[in-house]
Amino acid sequence: MPVTEISNYHSVLEVRHLRKAYSKVVAVDGVSFAVRRGEIVGLLGPNGAGKTTTISMVLGVLEPTAGTVTIDGIDISAARSAALARTNFAASYAPLPGNLTVYQNLKVFGMLYDVPGLATRIEELLQEFDLKKFEHTRAGVLSSGEQSRLSLAKAMLNLPTLLLLDEPTASLDPSVAQDLRLRIRRFAIQGHCGVLWTSHNMFEVEQVCDRVLMLSHGRILLEGNPTTLPMEHGKKNLEELFIALAREPLSLSGATP
Amino acid sequence: MNARRVGALVLRQGYLLKSSPVRVLPIFAWVLIDIVLWGYITKYLHTISSPGFSLVTAFLGAILLWDLFTRVMHGLASAFFEDVWSRNFLNYFSSPLTIIEYLSGLILTSMATSSLALVAMLLVASALFGLSFMAYGFMAIPFLLILVLFGVALGILGCGVVLRYGPAAEWLIWPLPALLSPFVGVFYPVSTLPMWMQMVAAFLPASYVFEALRTIVAGGTAQASQLAIGVLLAVMYVLLAVWCFSRIYRTALRLGLVPRYSAESTG
């Protein structure tokens, strides 16, 4: 569905004409999309396509060269703190401080996000993510799967209206990854938040995403339902479509929204 | 400014100190070694110098105050480096935390650890060498105020340099107080210095503290106007350092340095 057809009324994230250029290199080139409440949107693309750059701009840690990011109706450039209070994120490359325990991390980040009833919320998350037995264990000695569960627990501390997940299941075994996908899916439905999710696992994307945006060279080339989009472009599945996008983006660029 | 967010940063540092004696030790170790070393040097010099001049109040007092300044600067930088070492900037700066709240957290952490160091130094200097802060009278208040503010300013500036140029710039930060020490006249009157160094000293708030300290020890009265200049300079440098850090942070956002701190190794 083209971005212009999305009802902005329910959007928790609106990105308009977002562009990031470093000297002569354009990392993101005029990207526009929206994420609605209760929707999981996959942001896909080969390495260097501009996914993490886009997420960094949405998170306010990278200043766009042009364009706007609005979270739950708040322009991040005008009211950064208020906008970021409504979001949260988890990424495999941003682990929580390993020298704090699970509880200490949740306490510190809960205070940073000004979570009301923090003690109760931490207890809920420790139970929800099976972290109770690691409550007083330093995050740095947890396994990859346990650290990912902790990162997700932190990401859900403030019940964000927008959840950003940058390859949240990278380096996890299929069983742990499946478990996390179910938890995130459940949170998105129950919490009525929107999720922007990047992944290189096409099976995962088909399983959890309601809609996908396919990026190449900083531009969205394709957008649609992950189960029907491949057939619309003469491909068997999302993985085949992804490979075509990575190798021959021009052959698909005719479908640019 | 949200006090709970500032409290989160202080709590984080508190958790680290509580769990790690290795982090607690440097708060006391270096300053106490200085006090003991200079205490005995002063004691020896006292035996060979002319009577009537209190070397303990002049030299050891100066060392104690200088160590407090260094401790404030290092305390702030250490708290900042905890975020560098744990690659935590992305988690912090993608949260609602503002730059003023972040810096306030660093400053409060530094004030807490420096207060502990000051108490330890006073106890040792008083018990072993008979140093009394009462000798400086009420002037001790502006002395401490100037040195703490100047330490905060230098610490914030150092953090900004590391944020801009990366963790490799760490070695530039720690010796900053030592680089300033010849100019501020910790052990000698500023008038001893060549003119160009005296001109530099005039712009350093700490110079006014050590000049006033020597005047008091020599039996004179410290000029309040001179200390007022020191306070004003120190306040100005804090504001300037906050402004510089904010500018550097904006540059870091523009260049993508914050995500890079997490995505890349900190080497």
- Report whether pLDDT(B39) > 80: yes
Chain B contact for A85 (CB, 8 A cutoff): yes
Q: What is the pLDDT of residues B134-166, one digit of tens each?
A: 778 788 899 999 999 999 999 999 999 999 988
Chain B contact for A94 (CB, 8 A cutoff): yes
3-state secondary structure of A124: helix
Handedness of CA B16, B114, B116, B30 (dihedral sign): positive
pLDDT at B265: 43
Give the residue from chain B lying closest to A22, CA to CA: B255
Chain B contact for A62 (CB, 8 A cutoff): yes
Handedness of CA A70, A149, A98, B4 (dihedral sign): positive
Closest by CA to A54, choosing from A39, A41, A36, A37, is A41
Q: Which residue in A84, A100, A111 is closest to B94 by CB distance?
A: A84
Name residues 3-22 of chain A within 8 A of B (Cβ). Answer: 22
Chain A contact for B108 (CB, 8 A cutoff): no
Chain A contact for B93 (CB, 8 A cutoff): yes
Q: What is the pLDDT of residues A70-99, one digit of tens each?
A: 999 999 999 999 999 999 999 888 889 999
pLDDT at A23: 84
Q: What is the pLDDT of residues B173-194, one digit of tens each?
A: 999 999 999 999 998 999 999 9
Do residue A112 and residue B8 have CB atoms under 8 angstroms apart?
yes
Q: What is the pLDDT of residues B193-217, one digit of tens each?
A: 999 999 999 999 999 999 998 888 8
Do residue A112 and residue B5 have CB atoms under 8 angstroms apart?
yes
Q: Mean pLDDT over residues A29-58, rounded? A: 91
Does the complex come out with an ipTM higher than 0.90? no
Q: How does A165-192 read in b/e, with b if 16+ C-beta sit within 10 Å?
A: bbbbbbebeeebbebbbebbeebbeebe
Burial class (CB in 10 A: 0-12, 13-18, 19+), A37: middle
Q: Looking at the complex, report in whole angstroms how far the Cα of residue B163 sits from the nearest Cα belonging to chain A.
A: 13
Per-residue pLDDT band at A249 (split at 50, 70, 90): low
Which residues from B are below 8 Å from A111, CB to CB? 4-5, 7-8, 11
Give the residue from chain A lying closest to B254, CA to CA: A63
Which of A128-142, A227-241, B21-35 tops mean pLDDT?
A128-142
Percent of chain A, pLDDT > 90?
52
pLDDT at A6: 44
Q: What is the pLDDT of residues A101-139, one digit of tens each?
A: 999 999 999 999 999 999 999 999 999 888 999 999 999
Q: Which residue in A94, A100, A111 is closest to B90 by CB distance?
A: A94
The domain locations on chain B are: 3-263
- Report whether pLDDT(A8) > 60: no
Please tell me the CATH superfamily of domain A3-86+161-255, with its number. P-loop containing nucleotide triphosphate hydrolases (3.40.50.300)
Which residues from A are below 8 Å from B253, CB to CB? 60-63
Instruction: For an interface test with B, give the residue of A111, A137, A157, A163 to mutate (most B CBs within 10 A).
Output: A111
pLDDT at A252: 61
The domain locations on chain A are: 3-86+161-255, 96-159
Which of A167-171, A234-238, B87-91, B199-203 tops mean pLDDT?
B199-203
- Report whether pLDDT(B264) > 60: no
Q: Looking at the complex, report in whole angstroms how far the Cα of residue A106 sits from the nearest Cα belonging to chain B.
A: 11
Q: Looking at the complex, report in whole angstroms how far the Cα of residue B242 sits from the nearest Cα belonging to chain A.
A: 18
Chain A contact for B115 (CB, 8 A cutoff): no
Averaged pLDDT of chain B: 90
CA distances for B146 relative to A202, B35, B69, B226, B236, angstroms: 60, 21, 9, 12, 11
| DSSP at A24 | T
pLDDT at A191: 67
B68 neighbors B148 (Cβ within 8 angstroms)? yes
Do residue B96 and residue A52 have CB atoms under 8 angstroms apart?
no
B87 neighbors A95 (Cβ within 8 angstroms)? yes
CA distances for B91 relative to A15, A55, A103, A143, angstroms: 22, 13, 16, 20
CA dihedral B192, B196, B200, B206 (to 10 degrees): 0
pLDDT at B92: 94
Phi first, then psi: what are they for A209, rounded to 5°? -90, 140
Q: What is the pLDDT of residues A191-224, one digit of tens each?
A: 678 999 998 888 888 888 999 999 988 999 888 8
Q: What is the pLDDT of residues B51-88, one digit of tens each?
A: 666 777 778 889 999 999 999 999 999 999 999 988 89
Give the residue from chain A lying closest to B261, CA to CA: A94
A209 neighbors A226 (Cβ within 8 angstroms)? yes
Which residues from B are below 8 Å from A107, CB to CB? 11
Which residues from A are below 8 Å from B20, CB to CB? 99
Q: Taking the CA of residue A104 as centre, how many other CA atoms within 13 Å lie in the half-sphere pointing to its CB? A: 22
Q: Mean pLDDT over residues A40-62, rounded? A: 91
- Report whether pLDDT(B258) > 90: no
Chain B contact for A81 (CB, 8 A cutoff): yes
CA distances for A74 relative to A71, A183, A193, B202, angstroms: 5, 27, 15, 48
- Report whether pLDDT(A43) > 90: yes
pLDDT at B266: 37
Q: Looking at the complex, report in whole angstroms how far the Cα of residue A239 sits from the nearest Cα belonging to chain B.
A: 26
User: What's this model's pTM, rounded to 2 decimal places?
Assistant: 0.90
Per-residue pLDDT band at A250 (split at 50, 70, 90): low
